[in-house]
Amino acid sequence: MVSYRRARVLADSAFGQATPDFARCSGISGLASRLTSLGDCPGRSLSFGVSRCYHFELSLLRLEYLMAPRANWKGFLRLSLVTCPVALFPATSDTEKVSFNQINRKTGHRIKYLKVDAETGDEVASEDIVKGYKVDTDTYIEVTRDELEDIALESTHTIEIDEFVPKADIDNRYLIRPYYLVPDGKVGHDAYAVIRETIRTMNKVAIGRVVLTNREHIVTLEPLGKGLMGTLLRYPYEVRGEQEYFDDIQDVKLTNDMLELARHIVEKKSGSFEPEQFEDHYEAALIDLINKKRSGVPVAAKAAPKSGGNVINLMDALKKSLATEKDATPAAKPKGKKPRKRAEGQREMLLPITGKRKEEQKKAEKPVRTPSRAKKAG
């Protein structure tokens, strides 16, 4: 899905200038609705030429195309003789995170990498590059593209459910990434619902196989609201055993007093799982840094944090921790009020584009990120 920043660039290209009034739109959907109504733009002249309007229409169509989520895989879901067409979409995304390009400090131009021979330093054309498996220093077994295609698994375009297992039996180390599995098209919704509710009533997860990019993957399926969530699993050879890491951990005898103090600390910190309250502090710091540099505000060097020192007495540390938690206990939250969820694209709204605004408006709109927050196939 296109990011809000990219969508705003399309809007800029349509109007031929920066569009600061779009910065207050609520994410992609808000921007799209604003783009569909030229009269909604405060202070924006509607006297566009024919070519400008045509450019705007093309940008809007391109925006709508980029906004549509794209399936990583399409095929069929089968449970015995029950089959339905489905599409697989990634359930997570990193596109909203701040990313950087490498540029030349002197010219400001993007850095471009060339593929060169490690020994001669000459650039190598793409058609002359093949894969090689390293067996020794400077010794490789060459594998051609045709040879790889010969052994590649042909996708059956079917996720066939092989078995059902209790979810608690699945070791978290085997989990790779989640996907959404939805009906593909208007047909097959009945069969999809039958499979979904069968898994739900058994209180288990389904285990199946799917071929993605020529590799076969194990996938679990479980109900999630009206749909199904699929999670790719690792093979046993991909998971490291814990023994080699834990064998050197000392066996320590703990007193009941220590455990009791630790339990009190845990009780003070206990709460419900509310991911919308999570805040990426590094991401917020990046946004603040970019906004300051964009506005020409000097960035002061941050002082190094003071070290807390080493723990000398574990019992004293537990007592101090408990006292600190008691002092820091927040007031009880009023019941019945849920935290306000962060709207999609809210982060980009904090990156204003310079435009014709009054100086007072610029000072009033401080680029501060809201604390509350609403994410490939291998």
What are the pLDDT digits (tens) for 81-140?
899 999 999 999 888 889 999 999 999 999 999 999 999 999 999 999 999 999 988 899
> Which range among 51-55, 193-197, 238-242 shows the weakest confidence by mean pLDDT?
51-55
Asked whether residue 210 is domain-assigned, the answer is: no
| 53 occurs within a structural domain | yes
CA-based torsion, 33, 224, 87, 214: positive or negative: positive
pLDDT at residue 331 above 80? Answer: no
- The tokens describing 5, both together, are 């920043």
Residue 160 inside a domain? The answer is: no
* 75 within some domain: no
The number of residues making up the chain comes to 378
CB 377, CB 75: distance < 8 Å: no
Is 198 part of a structural domain of the chain? Answer: no
Q: How many distinct structural domains can be found in the chain? A: 1
In a domain, 37, yes or no: yes
Question: pLDDT class for 313, splitting at 50, 70, 90?
Answer: confident
Residue 95 CA to residue 196 CA, distance in Å, equals 30
Residue with the larger pLDDT of the pair 120 and 6? 120
Residue 222, strand partner residues: 229
- Name which residue leads in pLDDT, 140 or 338: 140
Task: Return the pLDDT at 308.
Answer: 60
CA distance 220 to 175: 9
241 token code pair: 């055993």
Say if residue 17's pLDDT is above 60: no
DSSP structure class, residue 209: E
Q: What is the pLDDT of residue 66?
A: 52
Contacts of 70 (CB under 8 A, 6+ apart): 89
* Domain around 20: 4-67
At 166 the pLDDT is 94
Would you say residue 27 lies in a domain? Answer: yes
In a domain, 17, yes or no: yes
CA 296 to each of CA 31, 225, 283: distance values in angstroms, whole numbers, following the listed order: 27, 47, 20
**How confident is the prediction for the chain on average, in pLDDT?**
75
As a whole number of angstroms, the distance between CA 161 and CA 183 comes to 16
User: N- to C-terminal Cα distance for the chain?
Assistant: 19
In angstroms, the Cα distances linking 153 to 210, 217, 250 are 10, 11, 47
Q: Measured between alpha carbons, how far is 72 from 120 in angstroms, rounded to an integer? A: 40
